[in-house]
Structure 1
């Protein structure tokens, strides 16, 4: 199931229907990383100016600029999961709508999350991912432990984030948690794929769109189980309970 899901998501990401969203996602990701770079260089400049180090040693100004750039390059893998979470929350419904319409036209369409709630989800997971990856960054000089912590933590966080966003178009938050728990192995395997993608330079920029498409496919394939019925959309569930 997982291999078929990955292949289907890869086809969708580079399809004409998602190409515009993909470019917008890459642009937003690069913009956020550029913002981090600007903040980093400003903080270094402020530190050097406060202690008047650049006046005594002018070369430190240039070194600070280069250090900030190098620091961003090194930290890219650690920042990207958090940035990916924010970008995914912004584009998830657009990606899901395209995938559901093109690949599953006979199924009832999902209900888009309210814009504010989708962004809140992204920010929440982004903050959690940032905190975890900062811990991994502090372990940078501990051989073996660092990469293990980074990979395991992001496999879990990315699987949880993307699956909850995709399944949340159909299920209530409580049902999403139950479904993720019932299929924790399959969902976590999807997170392993995403954590591996994050480690690939340049290609990791497609993580938000690929992750969204992959989890939409994964959720749909899990719902094909004959023992399950596709749950009502959240709006329909509320209408039924209101009666």
Structure 2
């Protein structure tokens, strides 16, 4: 179920139906990362400018900015999950609607979240993901623990949030949460696939749409399996 959902999601992300949303989501992700990089380098530049030593040795100022930029490239790996979470919350309903209409045309379409709850959910998703990845970044000097913490934390958090983004289109929030908990193992494995996707440079810019498409497929398969089992029980 997980591999089939991942393959279907990857195929759908690069399809013509989602191509426009994909380009917009990548563009927004790159823009937000560029703003963060500019803020980081300007911040370091300002801090160095407060030190009198840079007056006598101006090259220290330049070196500091270069090191800040290089450090941000490393830190970007930990920032991309949070930025992807924010972008996903913006494009989730639009992307999920395309996936549902294209891959599940016989099923009733989901409903978009109202604007204010959607904004609140998106900010919550962004904040949680940012905090988790800042904690993983703090373990940067402990290589094995760091990677394990990054992967497991993102697998859990992304599995939970992306699945609920997809499920909330068809169920009240309490039911979506209960459905996720009943299928926690499969949902976590799907989150592990998304976390692995994050580790692939450049490709990880498509994480928001991949995560939405994957969890839309997984939700549909879980609900479809339950429906078939229910129908089978009624015929016995």
- Give the TM-score taking structure 1 as reference length: 0.91
Gap regions ≥5 residues in structure 2? 232-236
SS in 1 for 2:169: coil
SS in 2 for 1:227: helix
Matched residue, 1:227: 229
Q: Which has the higher helix share?
A: 2
8 Å CA contact 1:84–1:208 kept in 2: the answer is: yes
8 Å CA contact 1:99–1:213 kept in 2: the answer is: yes
Matched residue, 1:23: 23
8 Å CA contact 1:82–1:130 kept in 2: the answer is: yes
Structure 2 Cα separation of the partners of residues 171 and 8 of structure 1: 23
The correspondence of residues 1-243 of structure 1 with structure 2, limited to 5 A, is 1-225=1-225, 226-227=228-229
8 Å CA contact 1:86–1:119 kept in 2: the answer is: no
Deviation of 1:228 (Å): 5.2
8 Å CA contact 2:139–2:146 kept in 1: the answer is: yes
Change (3 A) 1:42 1:228: farther
Tell me the alpha carbon deviations over residues 50-86 of structure 1, each in whole angstroms, 9 at most, x when there is no partner.
2234212200221122112211110111001101110
Tell me the alpha carbon deviations over residues 18-68 of structure 1, each in whole angstroms, 9 at most, x when there is no partner.
000000000000001011011101211221122234212200221122112
Structure 2 Cα separation of the partners of residues 149 and 202 of structure 1: 22
Q: Report the count of equivalent residues.
A: 229
Structure 2 Cα separation of the partners of residues 60 and 125 of structure 1: 39
Structure 1 Cα separation of the partners of residues 65 and 182 of structure 2: 49
Structure 2 Cα separation of the partners of residues 216 and 47 of structure 1: 46
Deviation of 1:157 (Å): 0.6
SS in 1 for 2:208: helix
Structure 1 Cα separation of the partners of residues 126 and 69 of structure 2: 22
SS in 1 for 2:98: helix
SS in 1 for 2:46: helix
Structure 2 Cα separation of the partners of residues 228 and 208 of structure 1: 33
Structure 1 Cα separation of the partners of residues 51 and 77 of structure 2: 31
Tell me the alpha carbon deviations over residues 188-234 of structure 1, each in whole angstroms, 9 at most, x when there is no partner.
000000100111101100100110011101100001122359xxxxx
